[in-house]
């Protein structure tokens, strides 16, 4: 049996200056390269990031940046959707850190914080073609609640809505 690789020395830290630009840039670059998304995807990520900062509620929202030796490897955001519901947003893991459990670690941070903050449900929106992310969500206990075809980011896509009762 092969043991999974571990991520020693990777820390999850809060947001600091420069991180939002990195999150937006890496989403634009990676989703463009890997899935053919156009610049409208990057613009959507920029809007979500700006909204997070401009409406930030420290008691109910968080961002985690995964970092090793000063190099960003991933990120995830948890935002307030309503008094009872939080939303997981903008999960990203650098290609060099994929397959090491970092995506799951970031999602687990969101789930743990959402529970501690008193939310009753955690939701997210993803695309059917994002198989690795969907696998992480499923292993964390999320269930797909609905899907819908749409045309966004220069492509025909199937958006999926997932939820986790806390």
pLDDT (tens digit per residue) in 15-68: 999 999 999 999 999 999 999 999 999 999 999 999 999 999 999 999 999 999
Q: Is residue 65 part of a domain?
A: yes
d(CA 91, CA 106): 8
CA distances from 49 to 20, 23, 53, 55, 132 (A): 6, 8, 7, 10, 23
pTM: 0.92
Q: Is residue 1 part of a domain?
A: no
- With a cut of 90, say whether residue 79 has pLDDT above it: yes
Nearest 5°: the CA angle 166, 133, 12 is 70
d(CA 89, CA 75): 9
Helices 19-35 + 39-54 axis angle, to 10: 150
Q: Is residue 6 part of a domain?
A: no
- List beta partners, residue 76: 64
CATH classification of the domain holding 98: 3.40.630.30
Structural domain boundaries enclosing 83:
11-165
Instruction: Grade residue 5 by pLDDT with cuts at 50, 70 and 90.
Output: low
Q: Is residue 100 part of a domain?
A: yes
Average pLDDT, the chain: 94
In our burial notation (b when 16+ CB lie closer than 10 A, e otherwise), range 26-36 reads bbbeebbeeee
Q: Is residue 54 part of a domain?
A: yes
What's the confidence (pLDDT) of residue 145? 97
Provide mean pLDDT across the span 107-113: 98
Instruction: Grade residue 114 by pLDDT with cuts at 50, 70 and 90.
Output: very high
The percent of residues above 90 in pLDDT, for the chain, comes to 93
Q: Is residue 20 part of a domain?
A: yes
Q: Is residue 3 part of a domain?
A: no
Tally of structural domains, the chain: 1
Q: Is residue 5 part of a domain?
A: no
What's the confidence (pLDDT) of residue 153? 94
């Amino acid at each position: 049996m092969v043991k999974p690789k571990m991520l020693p020395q990777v820390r999850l830290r809060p947001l600091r200056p420069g991180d939002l630009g990195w999150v937006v840039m890496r989403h634009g670059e990676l989703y463009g390269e890997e899935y053919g998304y156009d610049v409208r995807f990057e613009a959507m990520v920029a809007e979500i990031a700006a909204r997070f900062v401009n409406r930030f509620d420290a008691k109910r929202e968080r961002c985690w940046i995964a970092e090793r030796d000063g190099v960003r490897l991933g990120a995830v955001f948890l935002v307030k959707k309503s008094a009872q519901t939080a939303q997981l947003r903008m999960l990203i893991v650098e290609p060099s850190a994929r397959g090491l459990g970092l995506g799951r670690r970031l999602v687990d941070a969101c789930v743990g914080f959402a529970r501690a903050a008193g939310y009753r449900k955690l939701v997210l929106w993803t695309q059917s073609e994002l198989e690795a992310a969907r696998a992480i969500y499923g292993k964390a206990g999320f269930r797909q609640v609905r899907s819908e075809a749409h045309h966004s980011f220069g492509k025909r896509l199937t958006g999926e809505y997932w939820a986790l009762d806390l």
